[in-house]
Amino acid sequence: MTENVVRNVEPLGFPWRTPDPFLFCVHHDDAYPAGNAALGPAVSLAGRNIGSDFANRDGWNMYHGDVVPGFPQHPHRGFETVTVVRQGLIDHSDSLGATARYGGGDTQWLTAGRGIVHAEMFPLLSRESPNPAELFQIWLNLPAAD
């Protein structure tokens, strides 16, 4: 019988330490306001660290987005990512031309290959009411051979 043991716990910092096999879990829970015509927040972004907004100001983050909240094009080389969206939406696209919108209980399982760039954006569709978003994401590093 194999015993499951937590071998090490590291605080998150920058840059992240990533020993193999790397397992990363994140929970995003954002109380986005009503959206605008560009699918971003219909409020001023003044005072936010646009391009790296993780301060949870007013209960939500732009993350790396500058108009729409989320994570514009970036690589994930050699990762399995599993994303579960409890509420809100994610627009996913990649450099191979694949696109998808998912949310409200949907799950995406993605194997990220070398040279492929993808984006995950959180469109704020409702212009009359708040656009809450909640999702969980797990990353697992793959051996180079895979």
Instruction: Provide the sign of the torsion angle of the four alpha carbons 26, 111, 64, 133, taken in this order.
Output: negative
Phi, psi of 100 (to 5 degrees): -160, 150
pLDDT tens for each residue of the chain, 146 residues long: 567 677 777 776 666 666 666 677 889 999 999 999 999 999 999 999 999 999 999 999 999 999 999 999 988 777 788 999 999 999 999 998 999 999 999 999 988 777 888 899 999 999 999 999 999 998 887 777 76
pTM for the full model? 0.82
pLDDT of residue 92: 95
- The structure tokens 């397992």 sit at 23
Q: Which domains does the chain have, with CATH numbers?
A: 24-141 (2.60.120)
Residue 144 DSSP symbol? T
SS3 category, 24? strand
Nearest of 91, 53, 94 to residue 73 by alpha carbon:
94
